[in-house]
Amino acid sequence: MLISIIVLFVFFFQRNLFGYIDPGTGSLLFSALFGIIGALFFLSKALVIKLKTMSFSKSKNIETEASKKARIIIYGEDKRYYNVFKPIIEELIKLEIPVIYYSSSEDDQIFEIKNDLLHTEFIGVGNKAYAKLNFIEADICLMTTPNLDVFQLKRSKGVKKYVHIFHAPSEAALYCLYSLDFFDAVLLNGENQIADIRELEETRGTKVKELEIIGSTYLDELNKKKEDALKSINKLNDKETVLIAPSWGMNGLLTRFGEKLIDPILESGYYVIIRPHPQSNIVEKDMLERLKNKYKDNANIEWDFNRDNIYSLSKADVMISDFSGVIFDYAFLFDKPTIIPNFTFDKRGYDAVELKEETWTFRTLPNISVSIDENNFSNIANIVNNTINNASLKDNIIKAKEDAYKFRGEAAKKGALALSKILTDLN
């Protein structure tokens, strides 16, 4: 639009000029002109975003002592990461380190924490949140969100170090491509998450990140809730319960199999809980609505969209999943195996596609789970019964836990100390 206006202006208001510009020079001049116009255009866009961000911040933000002094900004892209960040925030407060918490969930439980050293703020979702985050200033920005500087979420020049924290024991190679390439440090659940990060750094020639094993704040919090969850179980009947807890996307259980898997489980007389991945509610709504509508009159099926999965995990006699991190939640908290349909994981679009060897997750899953072939879904009753009564996989689960879930019960304290050390090193 801007270019068209300039061309029209020149056309209508030009005077008679007698001169000659050779084609090569003319092309060079026009390229330079359009280059300048393009640069001004994008600079103006950046300025508009910055002004909007400042305006948004002034209108929504009440300045507190924490917001004036905070050297750590934490971003929670969804309220479901409350169990990841809450324990670390509490430990940082004990260390008298002010924290700013930006959330993209208006009903985030973090807002219920009241302390002079914590400033909380809802910053919107999507581009509105990124407009704020792309210009923040802090020594450290901590987040579970991957793909920093790959898509809309950019590194702010005002942040000295970006730190990623894992929210599941599975490794980064099962994130989408370039997930952690531009982070400065990563807080790990266990030793299993180191190898793929180092291999991808070497393969891509990216910066070597600081890696610190702290354990899992997420699993620590669920473990605290487990006893209460088990006490609160009130089964509607004496039927054994099968929990279907898939991941999302093209490799997700519901996407791949849907009613082809659900029907034979129901026909075998089990009570079924379906707990879709939270991302399915965003990108796979049509599929979920279709399945919910199909089974709406079936009394033996329950849909779980609650924030915490611990209540469904506690009710389940057995779980069926795919490659979701919930498999490790179930194994590490209840020492129980999972049934996994036998299919090839499509690595396209994931960091795993660039690894020379198989990932820890796919090497470990066969040792802590029971496989079922798609053509054998009709025999699901026998497989469920055999899995429920299978005690031989417990030793493998304990070994996997030793690799992937370190410092059980101590993750919050270790995470806060790791962040404190980074702050000290930045001085």
pLDDT at 106 over 80: yes
> Contact 397/335 with Cβ under 8 angstroms?
yes
Summarize the confidence of residues 264-287 as an average pLDDT. 92
Question: Residue 37 — very low, low, confident or very high, per pLDDT cuts 50/70/90?
Answer: low
- The DSSP bridge pattern shows strands 241-244 and 271-274 to be parallel
Question: Residue 231 — very low, low, confident or very high, per pLDDT cuts 50/70/90?
Answer: confident
- Check the CA dihedral 244-247-249-251 and report its sign: negative
pLDDT at 41 over 50: no
Question: Residue 398 — very low, low, confident or very high, per pLDDT cuts 50/70/90?
Answer: very high
Question: Residue 205 — very low, low, confident or very high, per pLDDT cuts 50/70/90?
Answer: very high
pLDDT at 375 over 80: yes
Tell me which residue of 270, 272, 299, 244 sits closest to 385, measured CA to CA.
270
Residue 159, classed as helix, strand or coil, is: strand
Question: Residue 54 — very low, low, confident or very high, per pLDDT cuts 50/70/90?
Answer: very low
pLDDT for res 227: 85
Residue-range domains of the chain with CATH: 65-216+409-426 (3.40.50.2000), 225-404 (3.40.50.2000)
Question: Residue 44 — very low, low, confident or very high, per pLDDT cuts 50/70/90?
Answer: low
Cβ within 8 Å of residue 180, ≥6 positions away: 146, 148, 164, 172, 186, 197, 200, 209
pLDDT at 381 over 70: yes
pLDDT for res 235: 56
Residue 165, classed as helix, strand or coil, is: strand
pLDDT for res 221: 96
Residue 95, classed as helix, strand or coil, is: coil
Cβ within 8 Å of residue 358, ≥6 positions away: none
pLDDT at 38 over 80: no
Summarize the confidence of residues 229-237 as an average pLDDT. 71
Q: Which residue has the higher pLDDT, 155 or 46?
A: 155
pLDDT at 56 over 50: no
pLDDT at 27 over 60: no
pLDDT for res 47: 52
CA distance 169 to 247: 15
